Structure 1
């Protein structure tokens, strides 16, 4: 019952800014990608697959921003930090996931 409401908020806060991606500074883009990644993962209703779908969404957003697709091997290498970064994002503490996003943007 909550998914529809959360998707609506996600659309308003993130997807509505899709056309602005090419004009974002690098730091604005990092912040946007980090926050949208965490928030999408928290909405995704399935135990499996949310990371893959979230990465596809991030690649799509990065392509629109002119950055191309991303290499997530850094995230795989630091998987425990990645998971803790997502958990911190539950409390809207995005600084850790921003560090990971900054590390993979070309």
Structure 2
């Protein structure tokens, strides 16, 4: 278990990581570290729609997904874009949809 993951769990915060895998980047958000945080239906729907949009636009691979605990984007081209998308999804989990709306229209 990484120090960052352990820290997120101790703080009851959503864990976010950006990883360089091969020639692309992967974004992972894990809500299991924030068990007290309940995602509402609107936030979940907005995030799922955003991921579907990114898949259709060819920005992320088709195996990217959202479930009630994990949000994963595979095949992001640059670290900057991966960090932007990770932060935007994190904000959306807490009801702030502006960064995600901006990120998918960029």
Length-normalised TM-score, structure 2 = 0.35
Length-normalised TM-score, structure 1 = 0.35
Q: Select the structure that is richer in helix.
A: 1
Q: Select the structure that is richer in strand.
A: 2
